[in-house]
Structure 1
């Protein structure tokens, strides 16, 4: 041990220069070994198997970061293409230099919503009603949408609904609105419970002094809260399919003329009546409307909307002083908002209740990751004592003020400016910095929407939720925050599904909107039908279907004894309730109260068919059909009640002859052009082409003849087109998740329905039903029905 310690002591002092000089040869050899590559493999070839990628030699970014520079150096030395910059893809080479300019060009024909770019990446888009509308998500969300409406929250952008503002003397407004609505249909524009502006209303409007005929469309409306009862303002939200017609009707109703200053460049044209001081302003595309549906819609709103406390250094400084009406309203609204957060359901608030709020910019509290909002309150208030006396002042909002709406757009902070501020001032990601609290507050309107389903069809609160009205330029910001808090976005197809589940028809067949929609569907179905080759087309003549792509109600009511060609839907609530009571209790009903040209709306549940289709037949069952249906129910047999026999197609031979003669004529004209070409070629030094055919008109006329022979426009009868008498039509049948069966909304004639009840009077204790048939099937199935007041 002593010797070892002595050795250690001797080695404590080492001369560095001498030590390195003695090992200089070793360092040179080590350097040469490092510089000189003995292996033939490149960097990307020496990686372990789990780190290798197929295209590493072409794209250095596919390598781990610490190996990229060595790989690039190797490629550069070897002169391979991997070191060169890759040419941008064709997608980026075709990208316009000014993207916003290109977007503005593309949305001139069909208007884009503010959320269009977000939707276009995730939804199938359609051109409808002059808008580019999100139709359905690209992922499988049809059944999931039903679950979301029942158990969570769905969100849809319905900003394509256009707003019309009408203001003027209250008496003049009331007198005009009486001429286009009827008390028989429910609460009208003049309903007392809606005049104070605390509730939203929905009503069907008609052409002036023409009720019950000439319905236009269903509208929603909202009166502006005001202390001046002599001069009032109302917002009317109209479906874009009949926006022009509705605006024209209001202009004629109030005799309003366009101002001389109006031009195509003005965003909100004005129309005035000089004698009555009524003013009509188009607010189209100046308000965003987002619809939330489902039991958790309140939870999503509580997370998204945070009441503003910043009333300085922005537009609120002028309008939110201590004595202003907006400041007083904000205090009351804050109290109601806190009460709402104590509830577990939006149904505890007053039906169609309107609540004005001034909230923070939704970009402040947007989460980094998508989170599912849940109801934090555990107490359910069975009685609505929290909202029995909601003050009228709570529905006041600055969004009604045009000057404030314009100021919001001018002073809005863009996303790029906000990101720059966050980069400078935000210390912790995800936590709001002090600079974000200076963002201007936003006035909005919240509208409670109860269940759209009738109590006859759905007892629960299916389809209820909230509507959110937002000023322009803020639609996308609210949308993104709602989605981040767990709201599932849906499109137009899912909206129709929810309406079908609730027993509502999106388009009434007697309204102007419905006629336009069904005419478009007819054209699409007809074009699709004639694109098929003749041997692939359904022969509707043999199927005994007179009108496979339309609703011939005019001819049907005439054949059932109506003297008037004009039909209309029965919307008289009292008559519908009386009729529903008579059907349920199986008692006699006096049909003299109902006009012969009225159509009765019914909701059908099909017991056999599983196909979704348009324009199905509603037929009157015979005694043998009723007995067979009872036997099938007793033995639990799912078979057709009756199978239609195949009819005779008298036009088949004529179609065949016309087709052959047409082919011969075209061939003869072709041969004539060929002979002419050969004759000219014989005397010409240059090559002679065959002349173009001038047979477009001939082909068009032949196509029209064939269309008429396949689908005759003038049918001899609609009522007796098949073995069972037709009493009505179904607009659209869909599979209903609530029932587990195909459900539909149909309309039957008054006399046909009367005869149906008379048939079942002979079967005491038996509930009335009809038999329905798809247009592409010969099978008749039993369908139970109830009166659908809508």
Structure 2
């Protein structure tokens, strides 16, 4: 059977056509000699003008050939290979090119380098040029870099946040893969930018100090389950004695573990920090010197530090006044120290985080604690860290992870063992609390070059190195972390993982081992998405009415307004025509009714007994919000403010705080409650979306509306006025875990109660 394409008909393959084109480019055409060229002999003299005119064709052909030949040589050797053989590494490695082309590839590799432009060349002399380290330090004048900055900067988009240069999101399309990794795999986030505040002093004094500035809902930092140092407490920091006003932000608090006999292990008598150690020496458990760490967001570290300092001053003054004469209570003090930059943190979320940690970390063999041996044996078969108590702390020492590189994930067995782990003080003991140990580990003793040289001497490549006496032993803390809604339904997504705390200087050795086995790395967007999918508020964007949220909202308003002003008038929304009251920033004061709109006259918002009373806005959130709203519903509208004030005063009374001075009506008027919203039909709410209240007639129409999969018989549209706005959406998007739109916002408490009454009607 003859071929469909015949060479005789002038049809060639792509490779043949390219070769013909290259030959034509390198061929110089010549002029065919005339019949009289052999009859006359060249004389002794020539006429230059006539000779040039006679050879004009050859000269022009030579110029064209030189131009075409130089243009055809711009293609490098590796670009001439077939598509299936092309690799980017071939342009840097001659051995990856076929043998017949290696000579030409070597010539291209050894080509003369193009001189850099003068503007790119340093004007300094060789003696005055800055080193690589000095150049990096110079670029950190107005912000700080994490130890993993260079690794992240090559793979992620970076922005200046809270005094740091942080990774926002990967450059690759990784939104859905990152979500799948947090639900089915493992994803890592470098959280070393978070601040750690250390507070040291007598146990009783520290309890009172923390109780005065922490959230009053649920058990406090002084509860027995937390004082032993085996668990962490996720709470919120307020101004001292200001609850429910003066919200600063979320924080994680955990104590240094104590031994069974009540003494502090790991050399408690040694000097643990800078300054003077509290002078207490007594067998009373309340006077034993203790240490507490407060893990906070970097945007509020200064405010938290000042709040703890103020609370400590109030507690010490009260203790001195109540102490009997002759006691040495005036010698008792509280040390507050900022440990930012001394301790780094990695957040590893997902069900496979257990196997990743088990494969990357190698505990020392001389750990004699039986509790830790059981935990480390069960970690391989642990399906998820959510099966162990929340906030469990595990302290231990690990070998240099570079000795075991490359690591392998632990493989769980088909028949998982029971995973009951009881948090204990002995399990939480770690030398990371000792400042001298942290200072000795700021810089690894062995460089990577030395470890690679030791690895090259192994007879079997890839064999782990045996630890030597001079190798580092790094103390770490492993803390169970869960992102979930308290008291949520079974349909809510709950993400579980670990927080790994370790001394500064070991971020890159640990990062290389943790991500080598395929663990994804996320930035700020991925961390925020985890909280959004779980229905949990993310700080600071979901914490209105606090100072950090005001700064965030102001920066976002400036960005959105500038973008709107750059857009042509015909292509942007006409907010004046639409009647939008505040298009770029939520006006929470107007929503609560304690402020007047910008275009309305100023009027008093509260009046009681003939006196003007302006309410103070505050965010009411926590474990008791839902049950409290249910208890307020049976009461009438006039009795609800008094019932709310009684509930809050009961919480303050448990922590020995005086009652609130605000009137019940003003207290009710200024309350803002965080809510979660799902659309009735298709669509997804966006950030800064308006939350409206509807009348009874429209509510009935929406209740009779068809499901999400039906597009017909939609309820009619009703006229909405700005007076019907009861809240705003702080975070809205399409939820991958729920398969529909989801939003987190805030609504006035009075509006929530009216909506509950309307639903009962």
Could you tell me the TM-score, scaled by structure 2's length? 0.71
1:387 aligns with 2:399: no
Q: Cα distance, 1:754 vs. partner?
A: 2.3
Among candidates 182, 192, 203, match of residue 149 of structure 1: 182
Any conservation in 1 of the 2:229–2:425 contact (CA below 8 Å)? yes
Alignment match, 2:357: 301
User: 1:498 & 1:45 partners in 2: Cα distance?
Assistant: 47
CA 1:117–1:457: 2 relative to 1, 3 Å: farther
Matches within 5 A, 1:488-507: 488-506=520-538, 507=540
Aligned to 1:378: 414
Structure 1 contact 155–292 (Cα < 8 Å) conserved: yes
Tell me by how many angstroms 1:757 deviates. 2.5
Distance 2:589 2:455 in 1: 65
Structure 2 vs 1, CA of residues 222 and 59 (structure 1 numbering), >3 Å: closer, same or farther? closer
Secondary structure in structure 2 of the residue aligned to 1:232: strand
- 2:339 is matched with which residue: 266, 283, 302? 283
Moved more, 212-221 or 605-614: 605-614
Superposition map of 1:256-271 within 5 A: none
Q: How does 1:293-332 map to 2 (within 5 A)?
A: 293-309=349-365, 328-329=368-369, 332=371
**What is the distance in 1 between the residues matched to 2:443 and 2:309?**
31
* 8 Å Cα contact 2:159-2:167 kept in structure 1: yes
SS across alignment from 2:451: helix
What are the equivalent positions in structure 2 for 1:433-512 lying under 5 Å apart? Answer: 433-434=465-466, 439-457=471-489, 459=491, 462-506=494-538, 507=540, 508-512=543-547
Is 1:626 the equivalent of 2:665?
Answer: no
Mapped contact 1:153–1:296 kept (Cα < 8 A): yes
Following superposition, the deviation at residue 537 of structure 1 comes to: 3.0
* Deviation string, structure 1 residues 341-392 (Cα, Å, up to 9, x no partner): 3433323322210000111111122228xx6x3641333456x5x424x432
- What corresponds to 2:147 in structure 1? 114
1:636 equivalenced with 2:699 (yes/no): no
Distance change >3 Å, CA 206–CA 559, structure 1 → 2: closer
Alpha-carbon distance, 1:520 to partner: 2.1
**Is the CA contact 1:53–1:62 (under 8 Å) kept in the aligned structure 2?**
no
Query: Which residue number in structure 2 is paired with residue 177 of structure 1?
Result: 210
Structure 1: where are the runs of 5+ without partners? Answer: 1-39, 76-80, 257-272, 312-326, 646-719, 763-790
Give the Cα separation in 1 of the matches to 2:518 and 2:727.
43
Q: Deviations over 1:738-774 (max 9, x none)?
A: 2222111122212222222233333xxxxxxxxxxxx
Determine the C-alpha separation between the residues in 1 that align with 2:303 and 2:716. Answer: 45
**Residue 419 of structure 2 is aligned to residue 346 of structure 1:** no
Q: CA RMSD in A?
A: 3.7
> Which residue does 1:195 correspond to in 2?
227
1:558 is displaced (CA, Å) by 2.2
Q: Secondary structure at the match of 1:478?
A: helix
Find the aligned partners of 2:228 and 2:481 in 1 and give their Cα distance: 18
Q: Distance in 1 between matches of 2:405 and 2:446?
A: 16
CA contact (8 A) 2:483 2:536 kept: no
Q: Report the CA distance shift for 1:204/1:622 in structure 2 as closer, same or farther (over 3 A).
A: same
CA distance in 1, matches of 2:687, 2:363: 47
Matched, 1:543 2:578: yes
Deviations 1:271-322 (A, max 9, x none): xx9853211111101111101111111111111111123x7xxxxxxxxxxx
Any conservation in 2 of the 1:607–1:741 contact (CA below 8 Å)? no
Counterparts in 2 of 1:196 and 1:527: CA distance versus 1, 3 Å: same
Offset of 1:87 from its aligned partner? 3.1
Alpha-carbon deviation of 1:148? 1.3
Which residue of 450, 457, 471 maps to 1:417?
450
The aligned counterpart of 2:305 is 247
In 2, distance between residues paired with 1:421 and 1:450?
40
Deviates more, 1:351-360 or 1:373-382: 373-382
- Residue 214 of structure 1: how far off its partner (Å): 1.1
1:579 maps to 2:661: no
Q: 2:616 aligned with 1:566, yes or no?
A: yes
Cα distance, 1:72–1:443 mapped onto 2, change above 3 Å: closer
Matches within 5 A, 1:692-703: none
Residues 638, 376 of structure 1: alpha-carbon distance in 2 compared, 3 angstrom cutoff: farther
Please give the secondary structure, in 2, of the residue aligned with 1:300: helix
CA distance in 2, matches of 1:574, 1:461: 21
Task: Name the CA distance, whole Å, in 1 between partners of 2:755 and 2:745.
Answer: 15
Q: 2-side partners of 1:444 and 1:200: how far apart?
A: 15
1:392-446 deviations in Å (ceiling 9; x for gaps): 21100011100011111255322223223333x3333211234668522111000
- TM-score, normalization: structure 1? 0.68
Secondary structure in structure 1 of the residue aligned to 2:729: strand
1:159-238 to structure 2, matched below 5 A, reads: 159-184=192-217, 186-226=218-258, 227-228=262-263, 229=285, 230-238=288-296
Provide Cα deviations, 1:567-595, integer angstroms capped at 9, x if missing partner. 11223633422435899xx9999744332
2-structure distance, mates of 1:281, 1:412:
27
SS of alignment partner, residue 504 of structure 1: coil
Once structures 1 and 2 are overlaid, which stretch shifts more, 452-461 or 753-762?
Answer: 452-461
Tell me the secondary structure at the aligned position of residue 476 of structure 2: strand
Q: List aligned pairs for 1:6-155, cutoff 5 A.
A: 50=81, 61=94, 64=97, 71=104, 84-87=111-114, 98-155=131-188
Q: Deviations over 1:454-495 (max 9, x none)?
A: 342555662111110011110111111111122211111111
Q: How many residues align?
A: 596
Q: Which moved more, 1:453-462 or 1:173-182?
A: 453-462
- After superposition, the Cα gap between the structure-2 partners of 1:476 and 1:70, relative to the gap in structure 1 and judged at 3 Å, is closer
Deviation of the 1:239 alpha carbon: 0.4
Q: Which residue of 1 aligns with 2:403?
A: 364
2:256–2:291 contact (8 Å) kept in structure 1: yes
The superposition leaves residues 145-165 of structure 1 with CA deviations (integer Å, 9 ceiling, x where unpaired) of 221111111111111101111
Say which SS state the counterpart of residue 401 (structure 2) adopts: coil
What is the CA-CA distance between 1:187 and the residue it aligns to? 3.0
SS at match of 2:442: helix
**Correspondence for 1:736:** 735
Name the CA distance, whole Å, in 2 between partners of 1:46 and 1:158: 46
Q: Deviations over 1:707-727 (max 9, x none)?
A: xxxxxxxxxxxxx853x7122
Contact kept, 8 Å, 2:706 with 2:713, in 1: the verdict is: no
* Distance 1:90-1:113 versus aligned 2 partners, 3 A rule: farther
Distance in structure 2 (CA, Å) of the matches to 1:48 and 1:244: 57
Residue number in structure 2 paired with 1:355: 394
- 1:454 and 1:503 in contact (8 A); partners too: no
Please give the alpha-carbon distance, in whole angstroms, between the structure 2 residues aligned to 1:740 and 1:189.
38
Q: Secondary structure at the match of 2:197?
A: strand
Structure 2 vs 1, CA of residues 154 and 569 (structure 1 numbering), >3 Å: closer, same or farther?
A: same
Q: Secondary structure at 2:441's aligned position in 1?
A: helix
Shift in CA distance, 556/48, structure 1 to aligned 2, threshold 3 Å: closer
Give the 3 Å change call, closer, same or farther, for CA 615–82 of structure 1 in structure 2: closer
Contact 1:348/1:381 (CA < 8 Å) preserved in 2?
Answer: no
For 2:706 and 2:86, locate their aligned partners in 1 and report how far apart those are by CA, in whole Å: 64
CA distance in 2, matches of 1:127, 1:404: 32
SS class of match (1:234): strand
Among 582, 588, 591, the alignment partner of 1:553 is: 588
Encode CA deviations 1:625-659: one digit per residue, 9 max, x unaligned: 223323432793378755476xxxxxxxxxxxxxx
Gap runs ≥5 in structure 2: 1-68, 123-128, 264-284, 315-328, 596-604, 607-612, 645-667
* Equivalent residue number for residue 434 of structure 2: 401
Corresponding residue SS for 2:225: helix
Show the counterpart of 2:19: none
Q: Distance in 2 between matches of 1:588 and 1:48?
A: 81
Q: Name the CA distance, whole Å, in 1 between partners of 2:291 and 2:77.
A: 77
**Structure-2 change in CA distance of 1:59 and 1:219 (3 Å):** closer
